[in-house]
Each structure stands twice: as structure tokens, then as C-alpha cells.
Chain A
Amino acid sequence: MTNSWNDIKNADVVIIMGGNAAEAHPCGFKWVTEAKANNAAKLIVVDPRFTRSASVSDLYAPLRPGTDIAFLSGVMRYLLANGKIHQEYVKAFTNASYIVKEGYGFQDGLFAGYDEARKNYVDRSSWDYEFDEQGMAKVDDTLQNPRCAINLLKAHVERYTAEMVERICGTPKDKFLKVCELIATTANGERSMTSLYALGWTQHTTGAQNIRAMAMIQLLLGNMGVPGGGVNALRGHSNVQGITDLALLSTSTPGYLVLPTEKETTYADYMKLRGFKPIRPGQTSFWQNYGKFFVSQQKSLFGAAATKDNDWAYDYLPKFDVSYDVLKMVDMMAGGQMNGLFCQGLNILMAAPNKAKVATGLAKLKWLVIIDPLETETAHFWENHGEFNNVDPKAIQTEVIQLPATAYAEEEGSATNSSRVIQWHWKAVDGPGESRGDIQIIADLQRRLRALYTKEGGAFPDPILNTAWSYANPDLPEPAELLKELNGYAVEDLPDPADPAKTMLKAGQLLPAFAVMRDDGKTSGGCWIYTGVYTEAGNMAMRRDAADPTGLGIHPNWGFAWPANRRILYNRASADPTGKPWSERKKYISWNGTRWIGGDVPDYAPTIAPDKSVGPFIMNQEGTARLFARTAMPDGPFPEHYEPMDAFLANPLHPKVSSNPVVRVFAADAKSFGTPDKFPIVATSYRLAEHFHYWTKNVHDNAVLQPEMFVEMGERLAKAKGIQNGDWVEISSQRGAIKAKASVSKRIRPIMVDGKPCDIVGLPIHFGFIGLARKSQPVNTLTPSVGDASVNTPEYKAFLVDVKKTTPPASQPAVA
């Protein structure tokens, strides 16, 4: 989230699209209720289903799954065509006036530089600005140049008329226009809109561009960096934010640094692309500090073994050729290219798409290690559960070791919530039986590997033997020790920059802020954005002062928000170019003549005067936010509507480039996509208020509340198929088939798309063959193994199925 849970209360308009907060995040949704009750906020919900969020909305608009970009591009067209943008904000704080290179263009669904044979944009050099001799981007402040980013945007979204939106999305034109009108009421500094989304946007082959489209809308409206604004990802797991920050991701390192590729053979090569010099005069371009964060991290990982002479142990890091993300891992497993797999609390048999492919992959592993507090389908993938998991154990040669882990109430440590707030939790009791904490298990693995490599030698043992491990008890590092390591400390005495005769920090002292990090090996810190969480003043994640002096829901002394305890990102943009708040209602930080003041930590150097024209978007080299993305996205500098891979129809805009042209499709999956002649119904998956993921089917109360798999369908479809509420239904896709009970409802209705009705069914994700709820074949039996072009998040939210009435499962067991 750019803003926070509590900040939602400051919104005047809330748009929930790509999520269903009332059901999936009920206690976070409280802040929407708060905004409605006490800030006269209006709630817009755009969703294929009339969800629980929709049931309390002021305005609900349906759309066909997978058409969000068409809808959002239509909104952008409306705002631009009707002058409903925050002109001064857009001009000062975005790249609207930047002149884009001549070679850039878009035609028939393709941006410039596409290579048909390689199915990729091999030449993206034109997706950039014109530069002058000094390397500064050229701008036209009059916005007259047709190649100004905003003029190219206008031209790009011109096709998305309300009629086209209706044709693609199936959203009735009048509903769509009402949504546009309500959104447009925030195109000024007086009112703000917040966007709340979740997996309904990410789980598409255009996932990242869905979110980008909303970010662009929020920039046009001037809603970034202001109270009650922002683009807010409502994240799923309790610490998925922290684990993302800490880079348990194939091509990342902690703090959103990037793992080196095999083309970057030396540290110097690696840094060549990471100079991040400003491309507009006087800009901050904060990533210029990249080297300081990287070197400090290498010191944290490898301690004294990371030296200037060995390029800070650069060779200890693996270099990647391609992304080894979850879909790639499953493809490698199924292709027999993987031998071992650790699953630490991740139930991949349920979580990755195309269950048959995952099961094939698991069965080809030599060994599988499960670390989990609960029984999972993955741990039991080799076990026969009748039609719910019809396998022959004798034929599966995978060795499985299952380790019992403790859970939250049984351990202490910190977790980072969706608002980026790091909160400590305390241990209440020991875990059951012989269960152990994840820290102990991982430390044990390191100790044994180190012992084996010390004794026997082996392949490149250096990084394993030199992993920094100076914990008081090497077998059981304390969480506090680890959080200090993440925060960082001085490796040797650091002189005071103001007076080199004085010492700013003594060796071993904790760093107060990432600003003091260095690229000469004198500071260590595992994750630069976490610096400040554990300083000489103590563990900030433990802070529990609920005071909110401004009344804006900032709570500055409750836990610690990364970065630098900042609660709203880009908050410099809450004030106009002269440093005055855009309005008294939305006052957040402001310039008092000598420094930036307010209830939050300014997202800006605190003493830079407004007349220096330093942009608020300090992480970008230009200091402004990007309406035109340059080369940051692999599938285009502007979002474009592409049909899902299981396509209900050919793309009405450009039928020859119907789906995202740069999506990665593995050879093994080439024939795994469905077509509407065989599978004429659009399916989407979702979550229920009564269940969390695949865990709570192990919890008695939740298994009673929602005991079994169902398929939600509209009355028209049910009637056409002779299905009644409670009947057993078979749902089939190109990948497989499952059975579920019919839930026939008015909440899900056919949508008229391009002149023909499109029936939609909804499938909850929670049910499997392990647990206390009734057994079911998992929903991912049906879903396609293909991901978003940017980050490869699987397309769970729009795929094709057919349904028919069927008989109950032969072995339907009673609830335990």
C-alpha cells in the first residue's frame, strides 16, 4: 500500500476493483465503513460478481473478468476528454510534458520494437524520452508537442470510448459513465480517491498493467501522496509484505535490489546499469545510493569475507539467466529438471496452476521437504484420496520429509503488514509436540551443511562456509539479533560528516537511518528499507503508542513503517509546487519557510526548498511520476487491453494480437489453453470470509461455517443447463475437471459482450483433500499454467470452463 489501512478513512471516494475487501480483508474494510460514515465517502465496486463489498457500495458496475484495462483506459479517456484532471499536479509532478522519441509508436495491438519470431519486444529503445546533449530529458511545458507523454496517452486511450468499454467489458454504458463521473469529482486538491485492489488485478496475464492503469488514473487526478489517496494492494498472507521485502523471489535481493544476471560478470558491470544519474536538472534520483545498500547487504550476508578486493563477495551470489519463478519451477519439475524441493509453509500442489502438472512435477522429484505447522496437500501428494487425489503411492518414488513448525502464538518476531508497518509479536506458549521454529530449522540446516562441506569439501563451498553467523547461540539465533542485522550497524567507527574529528557511530552501533549507509564496507545492513526499525533507541517494531496527534490515522509511534517510518509514500505531492497544501482538507505536509513539516515523515529531503523544483517522486531519475513508463514494463509503456489466454472472444480492438503478445508460454503448455467452442463459460476464482487460503479447512469452526466446495452461477446459466441450487455440477477446462455443488444466485449474472451473452461462474479456492471440511478436487485442477508478462503471476481470475449436471462424488466423506 502507498497509504495505510487507517488512512482509508480520509478518502472521499473509495474504488474497490480487483478485490473484495469486505470478504477477504473484513477488518481492513472497517476503514471503508469509517470513510462512508464519517467522511461522507462514496464506495464504487467494479467486479464480475455482486460481492459482499458491492452489497454496501453506492455504485456497482459489473465487468467481464480480464477486461479491467479496457475499463480503466476508458476512465482515462473520460478524464482527459472532459478536462477532469488535476492540471497543476499533472504538469508539475508527472512526465506529462516529456517528449517521447520519434521511433515510438503503437499499431494493431503492438508497440514499436516487436519481434514476431521471438515473441518479444527486442528493441525497446524508442520507449524513452528525447535527451539533450547533457543527458537531460527534453520537455515541452506548453504541452503543445504531439509527442509529449500526455498527448501520446490521449491518442492511446482514444479508442476506449464508453461504447467500446461496453463492447469489451460488458459494463452498461450508463453505469460506466456514472463511475467516471464519481471518480472525476476527485480531480482537484479538495477531494481524494483511494484504490483498493488484491489478486483480482494481479492474477491476469496483464496483471501488473492493471495496477499501472489505476496508478495513472490516480496521477491524472492528483491522488498520489495525499491522505485518502494512493494505490493500495491489500495483501494476502500475514507477512507476505515482509517476505517480499526480504526477497524470497528468484531475481531479487532484500530491499528491492536486483540479483545480478550472468551478463553482469563483475561488480563494476553490475553497477554500470545502476548509476541512476538524474535525467532532469537538480533531481534527487535516490537510487544513486544503490551501491551503498548493496555493499552493506553483502557485508550482512558474508561479513568479513566480503571485501573491496573480492568485489564484496560478488561471486558468492548466483547469477541468473532467466527467472526461476514458481511457474518456471513447476515446468522444470514436470520436465524432470529438478531433484529437490523445500516447501516452507507453501502448499504448492494447491497454490500453483494446473494441478496435474504440479503433481507430475512433485512425483519426479527425488526428495521433498515440508516445513509447516499444518498438514498440507503437498505433503500428501503421493497419498491416494480416491477421486480427489487419484494416485498410486507405489509408483511415486519421491522421498518426503515433513517437519513440524511452530506458528504465530508460539514464537516471537516481527511481521510487516500491508501498510508496510513492521509489528513485533510476542510468544505465548511452546508449540505442540516436537515442533520447532523456522529459525531453528534453518539454522540447523546451515550448521549441518557447513559441517559436511568442512569435512568433505564439495562444489564451491565458500559462500556456505563464509555466511556471516555471529549469533550468540549459533544453533538458535535470537529474533532480536536478526532484526538488528536487518537494520544494520557500523562495522568500524564512522566519522561525523560534519566534523571528521568526531565519531558519529562507534563500531557495532546500530544505524539510525539508511542515509548513513556506505559503499566502502564500513556499514552492514541486510535490508536498507528496514533501517531504523532497530536502533540504539531500541526495537521500534515493539512500539505500541496508539496516539494519532493529527487525527489523520498516522499513528507514528505504533510499530515502524518502512521506509523511515513514513506512513504515506510520495507525501511531498500532498503540497503544491510552492510547498502549500493543495487544500486545507487534504493538508498533510507543507513547507514552513525553512523545512517540511507535518504529522508524517516527509518523503523528501526535509530542508530542500520548493523553489529548487525537486520532484516528489524521488526514486525516479526524473523526479516525476511516469504516465509513460519508459522501458519499465515488458509489455508496453502504456497499458493495453489484451484478452486472457483462455479467450472468450478475439480482442475487438486488434483480433490478430488478441492476448498479451509477450506472455511466456512453456512448450509443455502450448496446447493447454481452452477455446470458447468447447468451453463457453468464463470462470473466476475467489476467497470466502470464512476461510483463509488452504489453512482454515483444518480449523473446526471454519470448516463448519463453510464446509464444502461450490460453484456460484447465475440463474440464466443454471436454467439452460437444467441445474438447481444444491445439484452436483462438473466443471471442466482444458486442464481437467472437478465436481462442486451448485450455488445458483442473482449475485452473478450474464454480461452482454460484443453483442452476445457471456455467462460467468465463480469458484472459491479453499477446498482440497486434506482437512476437516469435505474433500474436493482443488480449483487449480482447472487453471492455466501461464502468468503475467511482467512478474508471472498466474491467470486465476479469467479462464474458460464448461459446466454440466453430474452425480455426487462416489466417496464423499462426512465432515469429521
Chain B
Amino acid sequence: MAVSRRQFMKVSAAGLAASSVGALGFLEAGDVLAAGVRPFRLEKATETRNTCPYCAVSCGVLVYSAADAKDGKAKVVHIEGDSDNPINRGTLCPRGAASLGFVHSVNRLKYPMHRKPGSDKFERVSWDFAMERIAKLAKQDRDKNFVAKNRDGVTVNRWLSTGFLGGSSCSNEAGYLTYKVVRSTGILALENQARI
């Protein structure tokens, strides 16, 4: 991955020089070939190994990112199948092949939003407001409706009036942290896409 395709040409040329082809007097051939190749458009892009976000075939993808001319921030400029990956061998389906459009979708969420009861719109709020509000609403409901013991007096420590639907495209690490935090509150209605 440290080697760009243009550099690869040059390395190949060095290889040629050491070979019998070089001994036969074609020493310059590799350099000439390299000079004639138009600079690859992803030459300055950073290549990152990732996995397609959609189905559970888990096709390997290469995500190419480069600094954006406007703000200098790294942006994804190209995504293609990872030919080193033994599962998909570089191929992608119509969904994976268009996944650059998911990264840049106009419908990506950018800011925390709040819809007040009865309102007909979302309004932008800060992360601090959103998270503090969520924690307060959750605690309020939990403290009011937590069931420490059932009718038979058996300790059950459950909170049934709030549910949590987990994301099946979250990483294992995010999923486990979610499990840990949600179960510690006593929520039983913890589910994900697997069942539906």
C-alpha cells in the first residue's frame, strides 16, 4: 500500500535491469514506459482498507481519500473492490460499487436535531443539549418504571418501559459497548435487525 502504481512501474524497471532483459540492452525500457504513463489520478490519494457497509458477504473495499481543495480536509474520492480480498477478489455489486454515493449522500445526518412534541420540524441543537436531554428522559422513565421485584417478590431488576434497537452495521466493538451499557440499565427490550 505504500507503493503507488507509478512507483510500481519504476520498481519493475529496476527489476528488469537486473534480469536477462537488462543484460540484452533493454535497460531503458522500464523508464520509458513509466514516463509515458499519465499520472494515475489516485496517486496522491491515501488508500485505506475497509469492508463494504451493506450485506454480510463482507467484500473488501479500498477507500481512497484526498485533501479537498476547498477546506483541505480529507474526503473520500473513490471506492473500489479490494482485489487482495479472497472473498470478493476485487468485485463489487451494484450497491457496493455505488457506495461512494452513500458516504456523500445528501441525506447523511450532520448535526444533532430535536423535534419538540407537536412540532412540524426538526431544529438543530448541540451535542451537549441532545445528550443531556436523553440522559434526563431516560433516567426519569427508569426511576419511575423500574421493576425491582415482580409480584411474587422475586428480584427481577428490569426496566420495560424503554426499548433499544441496536444497529446491525455497527462494529463489534460498538455493539458490545451498547450491550454493556443497555443491559446495565435493566432494559430487556434490546433487539437488532437479526430477528426481523
Residue in contact with B137 in the complex, picked from A25, A340, A345, A546, CB distance below 8 Å: A340
CB distance from A298 to the nearest CB of B (A): 11
Complex CA gap A442/B175 in Å reads 10
Does A695 lie at the interface of the complex (its beta carbon under 8 Å from any beta carbon of B)? yes
Q: Which residues of B contact A332 (CB under 8 A)?
A: 160, 163, 189
Contact between B120 and A425 (Cβ–Cβ < 8 Å)? Answer: no
Q: Is A467 part of the contact surface with B, judged by Cβ < 8 Å?
A: yes
A125 contacts partner chain B, Cβ-Cβ < 8 Å: no
Chain B residue contacts of A241, Cβ below 8 A: 56
- Give Cα distance in the complex from A337 to B94, angstroms: 42
Q: Mark A525-567, 1 if CB is under 8 A from B, else 0.
A: 0110010000000000000101010000101001000000000
Mostly, the B contact residues are mixed
CB distance A372 to B109 under 8 Å?
yes
B186 interface contact, C-beta 8 A: yes
Segment of A113-121, A640-648, A790-798 in the binding face: A790-798
- Pick the residue among A239, A338, A430, A482 that contacts B74 (CB under 8 A): A430
Of B2-10, B18-26, B35-43, B84-92, the segment with at least 4 beta carbons within 8 Å of chain A is: B84-92
Query: Taking the complex as formed, is B165 at the interface, i.e. its CB lies under 8 A from any CB of chain A?
Result: yes
* B167 & A346 in contact (Cβ 8 Å cutoff): yes
Query: What residue in chain A is nearest B50 (Cβ atoms)?
Result: A425
Shortest CB-to-CB span from B130 to chain A, Å, is: 5
Q: Which residues of A have CB within 8 Å of B178?
A: 248, 344, 438, 442
Contact A443 B162, beta carbon cutoff 8 Å: no
Across chains A and B, the number of contacting residue pairs, with CB separation under 8 Å, is 498
Partner of B189, one of A250, A436, A692: A250
A449–B185 CB distance below 8 A: yes
Contacts of B99 in A (CB 8 A): 699
Question: CB distance A339 to B117 under 8 Å?
Answer: no
Query: CB distance A240 to B193 under 8 Å?
Result: yes
Indicate if B29 sits at the interface (CB-CB under 8 A): no
The verdict on A398 contacting B109 (CB below 8 Å), with A452-B139, A453-B139 known, is no
Contact A30 B88 (CB under 8 A): yes
B168 pairs with A236, CB closer than 8 A: yes
Interface flag for A6 (CB, 8 Å) = yes
Contacting residues, chain A, for B132 (C-beta < 8 A): 448
Q: Which of B89, B113, B142, B171 contacts A411 (CB 8 A)?
A: B171
Known pairs A265-B155, A325-B191, A338-B162; A445 contacts B134 (CB<8 A) = yes
Q: A239-B170, A243-B168, A372-B109 are in contact. Are A445 and B50 (CB under 8 A)?
A: no
Interface centre among B73, B105, B159, B174 (most CB of A within 10 A): B174
**Chain A, Cβ-Cβ closest to B170:** A438
Which of B116, B135, B138, B173 contacts A482 (CB under 8 A)?
Answer: B173
Structural contact, A326 and B168, CB atoms closer than 8 A = no
Shortest CB-to-CB span from B2 to chain A, Å, is 14
Which among A339, A405, A486 has the highest number of chain B CB atoms within 10 Å?
A339
- Are B167 and A243 in contact, with the CB atoms below 8 A? yes
Asked if B190 and A396 sit within 8 Å, CB to CB, the answer is no
What is the distance, in angstroms, from A767's C-beta to the closest C-beta of chain B?
A: 15
Chain B residue nearest in CB terms to A346:
B165
Min distance, Cβ B87 to any Cβ of chain A, angstroms: 5
**Structural contact, B195 and A325, CB atoms closer than 8 A:** yes
Question: In the complex the two chains form, is B173's CB within 8 Å of A414's CB?
Answer: yes
B56 touches A348 (CB 8 A): no
A238 close to B63 (CB less than 8 A): no
The minimal Cβ–Cβ distance linking A143 to chain B, given in whole angstroms, is 38
A367 at the B interface (CB under 8 A)? yes
Complex Cα gap A227–B71 (Å): 53
CB closest residue in chain B, given A468: B180
Given A344-B167, A422-B172, verify A318-B157 contact (CB < 8 Å).
yes
Q: Please tell me the size bucket of the interface on B.
A: 35 or more
With A371-B167, A393-B119 already in contact, the answer to whether A235 and B56 are too (CB < 8 A) is yes
Q: Given the interface contacts A27-B88, A438-B174, A453-B139, does A417 sit within 8 Å of B56 by beta carbon?
A: yes
Complex-state Cα separation, A446 to B176, whole angstroms? 13
A418 touching B58 in the complex, CB below 8 Å, given contacts A373-B109, A402-B113, A430-B74: yes
A426: chain B residues within 8 A (beta carbon):
48-50
A5: B residues at CB distance < 8 A? 57, 87
**Complex: how many Å from CA A325 to CA B196?**
9
Q: Tell me whether A374 and B127 are in contact (CB under 8 A).
A: no
CA distance in complex: A761, B180 (Å): 43
Which chain A residues (358-401) contact chain B, with CB distance < 8 Å? 366-367, 369, 371-375, 382-384, 393-401
Residue A696 CB within 8 A of the other chain? yes
Q: A678: CB under 8 A from chain B? A: no
When chains A and B are docked, how far (Å) is the Cα of A240 from the Cα of B175? 10
A243 and B102 within 8 A (CB): no
Cβ of B69: which chain A residues have Cβ within 8 Å of it? none
Asked whether, in the complex, the Cβ of B194 is within 8 Å of the Cβ of A249, the reply is yes
Nearest-neighbour CB distance to chain B for A783, whole angstroms, equals: 11
**Pick the contact of B65 from A25, A244, A428, A463 — CB < 8 Å?**
A428
Q: Which of A394, A482, A791 contacts B176 (CB 8 A)?
A: A482
Most A CB contacts (10 A, CB to CB) among B46, B58, B96, B141 go to: B58
A713 shortest CB reach to chain B, Å: 24
Residues of B contacting A398 in the complex (Cβ-Cβ under 8 angstroms)? 115, 117
Taking a contact as CB atoms under 8 Å apart, the answer to whether A318 and B172 are in contact is no
Contact yes or no, B58 A243, CB < 8 A? no
What is the CA–CA distance of A332 and B162 in the complex, to the nearest angstrom? 10
* Residues of chain B having any CB pair with chain A under 8 Å: 46, 48-60, 63-65, 73-76, 79, 84-89, 91-96, 98-99, 101-103, 105-120, 122, 125, 127, 130-139, 141-143, 145-146, 148, 150, 154-196
Beyond A243-B166, A346-B193, A423-B60, 20 additional pairs, beta carbon < 8 A: A5-B57, A28-B87, A237-B55, A248-B178, A316-B157, A332-B160, A384-B120, A396-B117, A401-B133, A408-B52, A427-B48, A433-B109, A434-B112, A434-B127, A438-B177, A444-B131, A463-B183, A690-B94, A690-B95, A696-B54
What are 14 of the A-B contact pairs (CB < 8 Å)?
A243-B167, A250-B191, A324-B160, A337-B161, A344-B164, A413-B174, A428-B64, A436-B127, A439-B173, A439-B177, A449-B185, A458-B139, A689-B95, A696-B102
Give 6 closest A-B pairs by Cβ, nearest first. A433-B110, A345-B167, A413-B171, A417-B58, A404-B109, A459-B146
